[in-house]
Structure 1
Amino acid sequence: MKKLPYYFRKASVALLVMASLTAFGQKKANVTILATGGTIAGAAASGTQAGYTSGQVTIDAMVNAVPDITKLANIKGEQISNVGSQDMSFEIMLKLAKRINELTKGDVDGIVITHGTDTMEETAYFLNLVCKTDKPVVLVGSMRPSTAVSADGPLNLYNAVAVAADPNAAKRGVLLVMNDWVHSAQSLTKISTTAVQTFMSPINGLIGISNYGVNEFYRYPYNKFGNGSEFKVDNVTALPRVDIIYADVDMPADLIEASVAKGAKGIVIAGVGNGNMPKAALDACAKVAKQGIPVVRSSRVVTGNVGRNVEVNDDQLGLIASYDHNPQKSRILLSVALLTTKSPDALQKIFYSY
């Protein structure tokens, strides 16, 4: 008899295991879906138009639209917000983190968060820093609204629930499941404005895959997260203002000065190349750093690390190298870290550790 391809063998085993658990009366995992809005909850006037409105569909309607999803887990849903992710805020993110910390202390086995893709990597990374649980926390979204021809949201949601219900997903930090791929919050980034395969993990690679609810995991994250993180937000109601300033040819230094004048407690430079910037801007960064405003050198380049003391003397200027954090993740990390320290040395260690 001809041997079945690997995927079908693995899927068959998974189905047999599910059938066995049902036969012996073993209870399914409890998964709570926390909805925030986004394209996955979006709607358009027709199935073939590009324009749509985010956050139009409730969590109950999304779950009801996915066949057999309740066979994967006992599902409950909560509506945290219903916004396009361009309107995601620290207020919503803090609410989300606190609710996750509450739920995972109980009998919830995993969390799924529906979220728009524009700022999904920022929310994922924030939650990775402050959610105190080893249980799976999985973000999911879509690139096409729920009304579109060949909408990608239903299968993404199905796979996300399968990952959240999987004990093998535990202790891997906050994950993102999109288009069959499982990413770590530490490494993922959005690389296309419209493509369905919009998320990549260019430096550290995927955590695993989820194919029609059949999961395979490759690795654990390298850096600190979750229960290993020093950051807590139980009593936090707001985060310090941190601005990102984009570096380019002949950039004006007064942008840095204006940021501080408007109340920034930290600055991230989306630098050219290895976190570089024109001399006038570099001098301005050194000046505000001496005033006690931490400045992080990141890069506008999609992949690669920003090293310390490579082309810029960070020790002399009092600046912080972002290492493998892009500008948006650097902003999240600096905002959270400023709750505990403003020391450049301590902040540099944090950027190496997380």
Structure 2
Amino acid sequence: MKTMTSLRTLALGGVLIASCAAAFAGDKPNVVILATGGTIAGAGASVANSATYQAAKVPVDKLIASVPELVNVADVRGEQVFQVASESLTNENLLALAKRVAALSRQADVDGIVITHGTDTLEETAYFLNLVVHTNKPVVVVGSMRPGTAMSADGTLNLYNAVSVAASKDAAGKGVLVTMNDEIHTGRDVSKAVNIKTEAFKSPWGPLGMIVEGKNYWFRNPAKRHTNQSEFDIDKIEKLAPVEIAYGNGNATPTAYRAFAGTGVKAIIHAGTGNGSVSNAVVPTLQELRGKGIQIIRSSRVVGGGFVLRNAEQPDDKYDWVVSHDLNPQKARILASVALTKTQDSKELQRVFMEY
């Protein structure tokens, strides 16, 4: 009889423990990881291969399984959205990803979203999501500089940090974030500045904060409009405006600009030297193309802090050109592609570049 009673007590105790564990698990934030490929899902031939490898090989379930400590941070589930190297992501990919992020952000059972991404165009995707997804929930884009097979792999800690940030209430309302190398950056500012080191991502105005052993330390907030503050809404965008980038240099000719104009672009980003300078040989062509309705947007090819002042170097008011403010050429392309879905007016376009 005592044995039966003991068994019954143990059974009831087991149910109680299981119930408590379930309740505790239910208190954890729910984070969805959307996988798109990239180095973080890459594999090399040996542990010595940190720069030579195949990107976009590891599926999302294996990525999650590679960081068992995630169960201590959040209830995590994954979706494989794409499996591509990020240099091959298209506008259509961006739209599909943003629509999925927006849909998930409206679900009551989702507290945060992480996007694993190749580093080559990670900054462009992060900025695009920052412009068009209306949510206050944390959205974090993360990648790695080395594949998971390398002895010096950085992807597992980067992913752990990304989930920690996405699960944190103090990350809400800060727009789309990027976590790399223990730092938290705004998707608006951050860029890939080095292509071989783990500390590859930099923001010209500094990171927003850092992550140390799963805890966030914040130093500043984003100043530009983003997410819920944005006038752009992914649910109302079905196609991005075609925009191309032409690279300025000391021996520049009009060839690239004319070629892009022939493809039907709505805008050309001029990646100029210094303060978005334009070669004398190119100015007449840009004036001509603006007269045909193509927006001319001056940006700077300067790494880590190019800042283009209006009517400096070129008479922008006279030529009806736009300046990109502090956005680099690739981010200027993203913003123009979005903004031109709403307006063709150069003054409105300039306002957008100053506010976002």
Same fold (TM over 0.5): yes
- Tell me, which stretches of 5 or more residues in structure 1 are unaligned? 1-20
What's the C-alpha RMSD, in Å, of the aligned pairs? 1.5
1:37 pairs with 2:37 = yes
Residue 278 of structure 2 contacts residue 314 of structure 2 at CA under 8 Å; is this kept in 1? no
- Written as runs of structure 1 = structure 2, the 5 A alignment for 1:245-324 is 245-302=246-303, 303-324=305-326
| Superposition map of 1:64-83 within 5 A | 64-83=65-84
Deviation at 1:181?
0.4
Aligned-pair CA distance for 1:24: 8.3
C-alpha contact 2:306 2:327 (8 A) present in aligned 1: no
- The residue number in structure 2 matching 1:119 is 121
Residue deviations 1:257-306, cap 9 Å, x none?
22111221110000011000111212211211121111100011011310
Q: Determine helix, strand or coil for the equivalent of 2:250.
A: coil
- For the residue of structure 2 that corresponds to 1:231, the secondary structure is coil
Contact 2:86 2:122 in 1 (8 A): yes
Q: Percent identity?
A: 47
Are 1:241 and 2:242 counterparts?
yes
Provide TM-score, normalisation by structure 1.
0.91
Structure 2 CA distance for aligned equivalents of residues 222 and 252 of structure 1: 37
SS at match of 2:235: coil
Q: Is the 8 A contact 2:102 2:234 kept in 1?
A: no
Match of 2:48 in 1: 48
Counterpart residue identity of residue 36, structure 1? T
Residues in 1 aligned to 2:214 and 2:142: alpha-carbon distance in whole angstroms: 14
The letter for the 2-side match of 1:37 is G
Structure 1 position 235, deviation (Å): 4.3
1:155·1:212 contact (CA, 8 Å) conserved in 2?
no
**Contact 1:56–1:82, Cα closer than 8 Å, also in 2:** yes
The Cα shift of 1:22 comes to 7.9
CA distance in 1, matches of 2:169, 2:220: 14
**Contact in 2 for aligned 1:290/1:318 (Cα 8 Å):** no
Residue identity in the other structure for 1:331: R
Radius of gyration: which is bigger? 2
Do the aligned partners of 1:243 and 1:259 also contact (CA within 8 Å) in 2?
yes
Structure 2 equivalent of residue 211 of structure 1: 212
Compared with structure 1, are the counterparts of its residues 285 and 22 closer, same or farther at alpha carbon in structure 2 (3 Å cutoff)?
farther
Q: 1:130 maps to which residue?
A: 132
Runs of 4+ in 1 over 4 A off after TM superposition: 21-24
Which amino acid in structure 2 is aligned with residue 139 of structure 1? V
Give the partner amino acid of 2:194.
S
Deviation for aligned residue 1:166 = 0.2
Residue 232 of structure 1 corresponds to which residue in structure 2?
Answer: 233
> 1:329 corresponds to which letter in structure 2?
K
Tell me what 2:164 maps to: 162
Residue type at the aligned position of 1:334 = A
- CA drift of 1:254 comes to 2.8
Q: Which amino acid aligns with 1:330?
A: A
Residue by residue, what CA displacement relative to the aligned partner does 1:160-183 show, whole Å, maximum 9, x if unpaired? 000000000000000000110000
Q: Secondary structure at the match of 1:279?
A: coil
**Partner of 2:223: helix, strand, or coil?**
coil
How many correspondences in the alignment? 333
Q: Structure 2 CA distance, aligned partners of 1:41 and 1:96?
A: 17
Equivalent AA in structure 2 for residue 309 of structure 1: N
Of the structure 1 ranges 21-30 and 317-326, higher mean CA displacement relative to structure 2 is found in 21-30
The one-letter code of the counterpart of 1:174 is V
> Residue 239 of structure 1 aligns to a residue in which SS?
coil
User: Contact 1:97–1:127 at 8 Å: present in 2 too?
Assistant: yes
Aligned to 1:81, the other structure's residue is in SS state: strand
Within-5 A mapping of 1:322-337 = 322-337=324-339
* Secondary structure in structure 2 of the residue aligned to 1:35: strand
Deviation at 1:23, TM superposition (A): 11
CA contact (8 A) 1:55 1:83 kept: yes
Q: Deviations over 1:308-336 (max 9, x none)?
A: 01121000011001111000000000000
Kept after mapping to 1: 8 A contact 2:306/2:328: no
Counterpart-to-counterpart distance in 2, 1:233 and 1:157: 26
Query: Distance in 2 between the 1:88 and 1:23 partners?
Result: 40
Query: Does the residue aligned with 2:27 lie in a helix, a strand or coil?
Result: coil
Match of 2:145 among 143, 146, 152: 143
- Contact kept, 8 Å, 1:158 with 1:212, in 2: the verdict is no
Aligned equivalents of 2:219, 2:125: Cα separation in 1: 23
Q: Give the match for residue 190 of structure 2.
A: 188
